[in-house]
Amino acid sequence: MQPMIIILKEGTDSSQGKSQIISNISACQAVAEAIRTTLGPRGMDKLIVDNRGKATISNDGATILKLLEIIHPAARTLVDIAKSQDAEVGDGTTSVVLLTVEILKNTKTFIEDGMHPTIIIRAIRKATALATKKVKEIAVYVKSDDAKEHRALLEKCAQTTLSSKLIARQREFFSKMVVDAVLMLDELLPLNMIGIKKVTGGSLEESRIVDGVAFKKTFSYAGFEMQHKKFLKPKIALLNIELELKAERDNAEIRLDNVAEYQKIVDAEWSILYDKLEKLHTAGVNVVLSKLPIGDVATQYFADRDMFCAGRVQEDDLKRTQKACGGAIITTVENLNEQSQQVMGTCEIFEEIQIGSERYNFFTGCPKAKTATMILRGGAEQFIDEVERSLHDAIMIVRRAVKNDSIVAGGGAIEMALSRTLRDYSRTVPGKEQLIIAAYAKAFEVIPRQLCENAGFDATNILNKLRQKHAENHMWFGVDIMHEDVSDNFTAAVWEPAVVKINAITAASEAACLILSVDETIKVPKSSAEPSNAAKAMNMA
């Protein structure tokens, strides 16, 4: 009898071959089902409760996929591309997943018919290159030297993004806010310089943008209320020092044999603190912010000298204050005097203002205001969370659009144009690739189709109208959600930055290729801490 050769550890699940590819595709399709309905202005939200009972209501594809806890290995790829789209351009996470799955679905029949995956992959690559070229070709460049026009462009892009979100009704209001915020930033447009603060209560329209920094009142000790809450052109000291009466060393012990020494030690401790406070005071500082706690003695000392202080300020808030007001975060006050102005920041107005039930510190009119803070208001916590996510998307889009001023029309228009171009091209290709490219072209139609389906329109009818319009070279025709018809979305100002589409197309194609190229999955059972050597070797191969 032939001895059995065991290569893999017992219980290892391994499936391979054509059926494996098909099964992977089915799994991906199932995942896409979950976010299908979130696309477009009539897209719905999902409410997901995690194991700890925390509820999230979201319309953002990447957020939903992250919360679904997908374990299927092939389906995980979709989560990853959604994430990468989120990180790269911030928006279009749902469409990228839908596009991937549609490409896979359309190629499934060819796999079933026994076409080799590598041929399919090659054709997809070719089609992708063509598609991106086409996007670049037809994208419309808007002159950015005209500041007003440029601004209008940015606002339109932000509005298109926001139209599918919860705040669609207020999109004009918020798009202005987003564009304002982004334009306040410097050349690099660092995202972390836009602070978003959330205060429940109030209605959405009460949200506001601050050209500077705002943060919540920190924990305060007795004496805080006596401090001045408003300064004009204050000098701001940003510290990383604990201003508290405390044991300087935790493990030190002092031995005394003389009562007279007692007072000296007490005095010494006080003078350590008082020296620091004195230095700050003589340097003419008005506002003291510290990352570390500011104790009651210091609070009262400042109150006594008409200065304002806030301890335990969040690190990013402190950094943003530093960016906005200038100065530096200092770790010692030893060298502080009236000459050392460069380490101190300043702004036009510092003020404490009540927002809802919270009190906020505002630093406005900052000289180096390369930072902005949005204060969002809304009825419920989940509500504001979702608004924040939506604004994040809009901010990312605007950031992208600032750098790349070429745009395409949204609402399925660009997809239809691509679909038509590729279909025309496919007819000129001899061989198997013709079929694949045609399938790829058809995959693009999923976006307008889904838009129609979500809005409850007759998708086939609308798509036929669109195909006809595009065949007549009206390349900007897309779905008109408002009137259940097709319309020229370029004149209707449904605009998206071209770079978003390019990124989505590339990411989707690559993910599709990746899934198609996997023909074997080896799953090592959970119990084993280390995968066996054999499995490792197989994985590498």
Partner 1 sequence: MPSIGTLAFDEFGRPVLILKGQESKKRLFGIEAHKSHILAGKAVADTLKTSLGPRGMDKCMVSPDGDITITNDGATILSMMHVENEIGKLLVQLSKSQDDEIGDGTTGVVVLAGALLEHAEALLDKGIHPIRIADGYELAAKIALDHLDKIAESYPLDLTKLDPLINTAMTTLGSKIVSRCQRQMAEIAVNAILNVADMERRDVNFELIKVQGKVGGRLEDTLLVKGVVVDKTFSHPQMPKEVRNAKIAILTCPFEPPKPKTKHKLDITNVEDYKKLREYEKEKFTEMIKSIKDSGTNLVICQWGFDDEANHLLLSHELPAVRWVGGPEIELIAIATGGRIVPRFQELTAEKLGYAGYVRELNFGTTSDHMLCIEQCKKSNTCTIFVRGGNKMIVEEAKRALHDALCVVRNLVRDNRIVYGGGACEISCAIEVAKEANQIPTIEQYAIRAFADALESVPLALAENSGFSPIKTLSDVKSQQIAENNPRLGVDCLNTGTNDMKAQLVIETLIGKRQQISLATQLVRMILKIDDIRLPGESEE
The token pair at 508 is 């989707």
DSSP 274-295: HHHHHHHHHTT--EEEESS-B-
Nearest to partner 1 of 394, 455 (CB atom): 455
401 near partner 1 (CB under 8 A): no
361 near partner 1 (CB under 8 A): no
End-to-end CA distance of the chain: 30
Tell me if residue 491 falls in helix, strand or coil: coil
541 near partner 1 (CB under 8 A): no
213 near partner 1 (CB under 8 A): no
14 near partner 1 (CB under 8 A): no
Residue with tokens 């999955």: 521
Torsion-angle region of 58 (φ positive above 0: left; ψ -120 to 50: alpha; else: beta) = beta
Nearest to partner 1 of 405, 480 (CB atom): 480
Distance in Å, CB of 417 to partner 1, minimum: 27
Nearest to partner 1 of 2, 354 (CB atom): 354
Looking at 21, 62, 70, 213, which residue binds partner 1 (CB under 8 A)? 70
Paired sense of beta strands 329-330 and 235-239, if any = parallel
Residue 265's CB is within 10 A of a number of other CB atoms, namely 11
Distance in Å, CB of 52 to partner 1, minimum: 9
22 near partner 1 (CB under 8 A): yes
Which residues, 6+ apart, have CB-to-CB distance to 56 below 8 Å? 47, 48, 49, 50, 63, 67, 382, 385
Segment interacting with partner 1, rule: CB under 8 A, options 34-42, 155-163, 493-501, 508-516:
34-42
Nearest to partner 1 of 42, 474 (CB atom): 42
Looking at 8, 14, 42, 126, which residue binds partner 1 (CB under 8 A)? 42
Distance in Å, CB of 401 to partner 1, minimum: 26
The token pair at 102 is 């549609």
Ranges within 259-318 binding partner 1 (CB under 8 A): 259-260, 262-263, 265-266, 268-270, 296-297, 300-301, 303-304
Distance in Å, CB of 531 to partner 1, minimum: 19
49 near partner 1 (CB under 8 A): yes
518 near partner 1 (CB under 8 A): no
DSSP 411-463: TTHHHHHHHHHHHHHHTT--STHHHHHHHHHHHTTHHHHHHHHHHT--HHHHH
Looking at 363, 383, 425, 444, which residue binds partner 1 (CB under 8 A)? 383
Contact 327/345 with Cβ under 8 angstroms? yes
Segment interacting with partner 1, rule: CB under 8 A, options 95-103, 139-147, 219-227, 423-431:
219-227
Nearest to partner 1 of 224, 440 (CB atom): 224
243 near partner 1 (CB under 8 A): no
Angle, vertex CA 195, rays to CA 201 and CA 169, nearest 5: 50
60 near partner 1 (CB under 8 A): no
Distance in Å, CB of 181 to partner 1, minimum: 22
255 near partner 1 (CB under 8 A): yes
The token pair at 15 is 């499936």
Looking at 8, 14, 37, 522, which residue binds partner 1 (CB under 8 A)? 37
Segment interacting with partner 1, rule: CB under 8 A, options 216-224, 281-289, 392-400, 471-479:
216-224
Half-sphere exposure of 254 (CA within 13 A, CB side): 15
**Residue in 122, 174, 223 with CA at minimum distance from that of residue 394:** 174
208 near partner 1 (CB under 8 A): no
408, β-bridge pairs: 496
Nearest to partner 1 of 245, 429 (CB atom): 245
Segment interacting with partner 1, rule: CB under 8 A, options 131-139, 200-208, 338-346, 432-440:
200-208
203 near partner 1 (CB under 8 A): yes
Segment interacting with partner 1, rule: CB under 8 A, options 95-103, 145-153, 248-256, 309-317:
248-256
| Residues 111, 113, 119, 122, CA torsion sign | negative
DSSP 193-245: GEEEEEEEBS-GGG-EEESEEEEE-----TTGGGS--EEES-EEEEE---BS-
Looking at 151, 183, 202, 228, which residue binds partner 1 (CB under 8 A)? 202
Q: Which helix (H) or strand (E) holds 112?
A: helix 93-112
Residue 395 to residues 262, 374, 388, 471: CA-CA distances in angstroms? Answer: 60, 11, 10, 35
Looking at 191, 328, 380, 471, which residue binds partner 1 (CB under 8 A)? 380
540 near partner 1 (CB under 8 A): no
Distance in Å, CB of 114 to partner 1, minimum: 15
Looking at 6, 11, 16, 55, which residue binds partner 1 (CB under 8 A)? 55
Contact 225/371 with Cβ under 8 angstroms? no
254 near partner 1 (CB under 8 A): yes
Angstrom distance (rounded) from CA 333 to CA 315: 19
57 near partner 1 (CB under 8 A): yes
Looking at 12, 21, 46, 421, which residue binds partner 1 (CB under 8 A)? 46
Nearest to partner 1 of 191, 226 (CB atom): 226
Looking at 257, 472, 526, 540, which residue binds partner 1 (CB under 8 A)? 257
Residue with tokens 């005097």: 337
Segment interacting with partner 1, rule: CB under 8 A, options 17-25, 187-195, 317-325, 429-437:
17-25
Nearest to partner 1 of 131, 241 (CB atom): 241
CB-based burial label for 146 (10 Å; 0-12, 13-18, 19+): exposed
140, β-bridge pairs: 407
Ranges within 141-180 binding partner 1 (CB under 8 A): 166, 169
Angle, vertex CA 481, rays to CA 458 and CA 488, nearest 5: 105
